[in-house]
Homo-oligomer: A and B are copies of this chain.
Amino acid sequence: MEPRLPRGMRDILPDQMMLRRYVIRTFEEIFEAYGFEPLQTPALELRETLMGKYGPEAEKLIYDARHREGKEELSLRYDLSVPLARVVAMYPNLPKPFKRYQIAPVWRAERPQKGRYREFYQCDADIVGTSSMAADAEIIALIDEALTRLGFRNFVILLNDRKLLTGLGRYSGVPEPLLGSLYRAIDKFDRLGLEGVREEMRRYGIPEEVIERMLELLRIEGENAGILEELTRRMQEAEIPEGLEGLQELRTLLRFLEEMGVAPERYRISFTMVRGLEYYTGPIFETVVTEPKIGSITGGGRYDGLVGLFAKQSVPMTGTSFGIERIIDVIQELGMAPPALPRTPIQVLVTVFDEPRMGASIALTRTFRQAGLHTMLYFEPRRLEAQLRYAHQKGIPFVAILGPDEEAQGMVTVRAMESGEQRTLPPEEAVRWIRNALGGERDGG
């Protein structure tokens, strides 16, 4: 039988795991610094828990599961937000605000392509149980800090508001059935520019007078506060309360962002940015990396209606998802990982000269481990070159060679694999040399 993986699935071998873990741990540390707590939910949910939450197109991608005698209809989770809403509804006594993070796999039967898998990790941080815009602002501060810590430099967090989008729709005067097309068109503004959006709208059959009215809005320029002011003026003139409410939310959000010390170049009001129209209810956020051009790496916003699908009373929620798989790929491709990040957790390989001397190698392995060095015993008395090649292939930084000469003198020959430097030392000095060379940093993450 030929060993194979299902389509769109992958193994992550050890040499890829170190970077992956560094990124995951970095997120965990920042989430906890911000007062988020870990939560674990099962991979399998009841099918009815997931259905009707993501829209019919997305729901086609959900994996169903069953076992021989099971009567329940089960599905593999599609994201981490719906399970969170289920948790919030199931445990009404959870103290609020409830700030949770979860970094865990989800499953979507999308067409596999380079860098896109059917099992992938999501990385979410959400704040449950407060309507305060300070919570939304904190999510944005968190995004800023996490991406900065991971080495991203040129990114901007786009801010909009679902209520403002409703207001814009009304303001445009577009007929109801074309509202979706209007949003689809303006969402392309950053990419296509004014004339591109005009063409899109025409293509969708949006009336010329609506197009003109929207384009006039899209011509508004300026910094964040100025844009809000101008939009407020127009929404006031047109008497559109939802729009004004959205603008008020954004104004409060900007105030909190300033108080939280988020650098102004890190966020920008982008009232053409559209996401999850069925889902979000307040501010929405999306991070775009501008240089290198890798597109969107976070998405989120306020979704005060989701828990209401599971419980009589809804509970306000806001949060973000980090595109952690994309982030890991980018860090890998652009060499953004810390230079000291090793390819393996193994720090020293202890060689085996021959079967009778295995005991000496075992004793040395013990000494190294007791000194806190991550140590591997080679087990097999192969030729020394084979053992050195092994260390080289795996990126193990030090090899401790123990032959008859060393054993006779109570010494060990240590080779630093990268520099080729080699010293014959008593074991405790070998420990000291290796420790110093590793820079006191023991697990590189």
Contact = CB atoms under 8 A, between A and B. Distances in A.
A65 B67 contact: no
A324 interface: no
A375 to B, nearest CB: 6
A109 B70 contact: yes
A54 B11 CA distance: 22
A29 B91 CA distance: 34
Contact of A375 (B33, B119, B132): B33
A429 interface: no
A362 B134 contact: yes
A260 B362 contact: yes
A163 to B, nearest CB: 20
A157 interface: no
B64 A40 contact: no
A119 B44 contact: yes
Interface string A44-85: 111011000000000011111111111010101000000000
A14 B41 contact: no
Nearest to A39: B14
Contact of A1 (B13, B310, B349): B310
A132 B89 contact: no
A130 B379 contact: yes
A43 B376 contact: no
B67 A39 contact: no
Contacts of A366: 260-261
B33 A310 contact: no
A332 to B, nearest CB: 15
A104 to B, nearest CB: 10
Interface in A356-408: 358-359, 362-363, 366, 369, 372-380, 390, 393-394
A259 interface: yes
15 contacts: A3-B87, A3-B89, A3-B310, A9-B42, A11-B42, A14-B100, A17-B40, A32-B374, A34-B375, A35-B374, A43-B119, A63-B65, A65-B76, A135-B379, A261-B366
Given A2-B310, A7-B72, A43-B43, 10 more contacts: A3-B89, A9-B44, A10-B42, A11-B87, A33-B373, A42-B119, A43-B119, A61-B67, A130-B380, A260-B362
Interface of A: 1-7, 9-14, 17, 20-21, 29, 32-46, 48-49, 60-70, 72, 74, 76, 86-87, 89-91, 94-95, 97, 99-100, 105, 107, 109, 118-119, 127, 130, 132, 134-135, 138, 256, 259-261, 309-311, 344-346, 349, 358-359, 362-363, 366, 369, 372-380, 390, 393-394, 443
